A = this chain, B = another copy of it.
């Protein structure tokens, strides 16, 4: 987008969530969402947040004061979004009143990283009103202020967010690992009980293994970068498992303990173990929520779904692959 373009009247952004293979869990004390751990992630094709931002309020003849936020067709008052808009306006000249409509084609707040795609879409949408246009890194830093993991979701493919950094960087694009698939198992559509922000803070403040978690993140990161570089699913998967199981161990050892796992999550974890024993190359991870995400190869996906069904019964899932960066459409009249 050239810097001399006029400002748009409406912007429409489609963004996909960022699934951490190496987990972001813990913040540094200073700054907004500065991670204490490096994370490595993949942007998930097919799962989409669509966010429309417009400045044309008076279409219905009313003049409204302040921003309007509509999520999944519900007008909401969302403190996280309001705080983020205040932050963005402090950093950049932006219209003083915006209407923001956002909708996910997947369950919100159920542990599918909806806040990463949500804030990535919002940041990219605001970016359309900023002159000169933001670089990828500036956009990533802006998105991060809304939700840490959103800084990765402004890029497609594989991304890396290094501990202590204000922004993520792209590592490999969505074409790098053609036959990698991500199987998202929806064990529930219920929103999770505890938000991940407060759980993260609770763990970093009360878990006696938190410093060890931070230390081990360096080792997990090396393993995972090697796995990615070699396109070695087994190496990547083993590192991914160590990362998520350690993250959950910071929750189990928090005071009081935090438990996100459901019986259905455990069923998938155990079934995955069995499938691996039977020679299938399939590796699970989880986030601060009950859903389980599996990494596998395209060629084995059908058999994995079939074998999983034998183990746990019928289940709902989405099949994804490394996805594209956010798409931005602007409208000037």
Contact = CB atoms under 8 A, between A and B. Distances in A.
A238 interface: yes
A270 interface: yes
A310 to B, nearest CB: 15
Contacts of A241: 256-257
A248 interface: yes
A9 interface: no
Contact of A215 (B208, B216, B248, B273): B208
A133 to B, nearest CB: 44
Interface residues of A, number: 28
B267 A242 contact: no
B246 A259 contact: no
A256 B238 contact: yes
A173 interface: no
A76 interface: no
A261 interface: yes
Nearest to A269: B259
Interface in A222-273: 238, 241-242, 245-246, 248-249, 252-253, 255-257, 259, 261-267, 269-270, 273
B259 A263 contact: no
Contacts of A265: 266
A262 B270 contact: yes
Most buried by B among A238, A261, A266, A269: A266
A102 B30 CA distance: 63
Interface in A158-212: 208-209, 212
Given A262-B270, A263-B266, A263-B270, 10 more contacts: A209-B209, A209-B249, A209-B253, A238-B256, A245-B252, A245-B253, A248-B252, A259-B269, A259-B270, A266-B266
19 contacts: A208-B212, A208-B216, A209-B249, A209-B253, A241-B257, A242-B257, A245-B253, A245-B257, A246-B252, A246-B253, A252-B252, A259-B273, A261-B270, A262-B270, A263-B263, A263-B264, A263-B267, A263-B270, A265-B266
| 7 nearest A-B residue pairs (beta carbon) | A249-B249, A263-B267, A263-B263, A245-B252, A209-B209, A266-B266, A263-B266
